[in-house]
Chain A
Amino acid sequence: MDKAFSGADAVFWLTPPDPRAPSVEAAFVGFTRPAAEAFRKHGVGRVVAVSALGRSTPWASRAGYVTGSLAMDDLIASTGVAYRALTNPSFMDNTIRQVPSIKNQGVFFSPIAGDRKLPTVATRDIAAAAARLLLDPSWSGVGEVPSLGPEDLSFNDMAQIMSEVLGMQVRFQQNTFEAYKERFVSFGMSDAMAQGMTDMAWAKNEGLDNGVARTPENSTPTSFRQWTEEVLKPAVAS
């Protein structure tokens, strides 16, 4: 890592998943610490990282992966580097994981209530924001750049959009937080990381992602309908 950042004007940082990490803090802060030291040592000019919505909300300290991500932001900011945290809600693209159940049973799942309206963003829009910041040498200091998608949607809204675009009935089914965690454990995730996923979903259900007021500047262009047409529909058809 020390070698990678030598001479870097700007760095795009994303903490990769470590499903067997002993703790959420280890996965986010522990993994990022050597990078933060390298940013400082090599005088990296600017860092742009993928992070999450939720800072300054009542759930920020109990939100699993989001809590870890916010601590990562604090660590990077503490190095003195110019820093922008791309603060995101859940990704539209995560729906791809549920293609088998959508395709075969016409249903998708979450422990979040079906009528809870939340922002959701396409990863293509996050990437566009990152590239813009990486190529722009004019900013300094520390800040957050939220990307909220074009509108807040509930999972029931998404089911309706999927049904219309895919030409098949798709419904949303809320599952329990216990079942949600157990599923991750069954995939081999450590208990701590599975609990982190579950805590994040709980916090989103409470309102973690609704703390930033929508503005033209933080509304990103790709709609869930467009994403469903361009990404989900081909995946379901394949």
Chain B
Amino acid sequence: MIVVTTPTGQIGSQVLSNLLDRVKSSGLSSATRQVSRPASGRALTSSRARTVTRPSWTRPFLAPMPSSG
């Protein structure tokens, strides 16, 4: 399972999209995937029996902090 924090944020949302694209392009069948549907977010799937999901506790994301200067 892969957990992505700040999944609706500027970077977190793009990380999720990248993970989905890479899983899709792997060509593995859906039968090998596990799906998780957390109450707070859309379900994401991953190959190799891993689940990509997002925790419900994450706070709303405004902008990345470390390099925002």
Check: B3 CB closer than 8 A to any chain A CB: yes
Cβ–Cβ contact A128 & B3, under 8 A: no
**Chain B positions within 8 Å of A8 at CB level:** 1-3
Closest residue on chain B to residue A85 by CB atoms:
B66
- Cβ of A16 and Cβ of B6 under 8 Å apart? yes
Q: Does A89 contact B (CB under 8 A)?
A: yes
| B67 lies within 8 A of A90 (CB) | yes
Whether A14 pairs with B3 at a CB distance below 8 angstroms is no
Q: Are B69 and A4 in contact (CB under 8 A)?
A: no
- B2 close to A9 (CB less than 8 A): yes
Interface range for A: 35 or more
Which of A53, A121, A126, A135: most chain B Cβ within 10 A? Answer: A135
A73-109 contacts to B, CB under 8 A, are 88-91, 93-94, 97
Bound complex: CA A8 to CA B69 (Å): 32
Count residues of chain B with CB under 8 A from any CB of chain A: 34
A204 within 8 A of B: yes
Closest residue of chain B to A125, judged by CB?
Answer: B14
- Chain A residues near B14 (CB-CB < 8 A): 123-124, 126-128
Given the known A-B contacts A12-B5, A13-B5, are A204 and B69 also in contact in the complex, defined by CB atoms under 8 Å?
yes
Are B18 and A90 interface neighbours, CB within 8 A?
Answer: no
A-B contact sample (17 more), CB < 8 A, given A65-B66, A91-B68, A123-B14? A7-B1, A11-B2, A15-B66, A16-B58, A17-B64, A50-B11, A66-B67, A68-B65, A69-B66, A90-B67, A94-B67, A94-B69, A127-B14, A132-B18, A135-B22, A200-B68, A204-B69
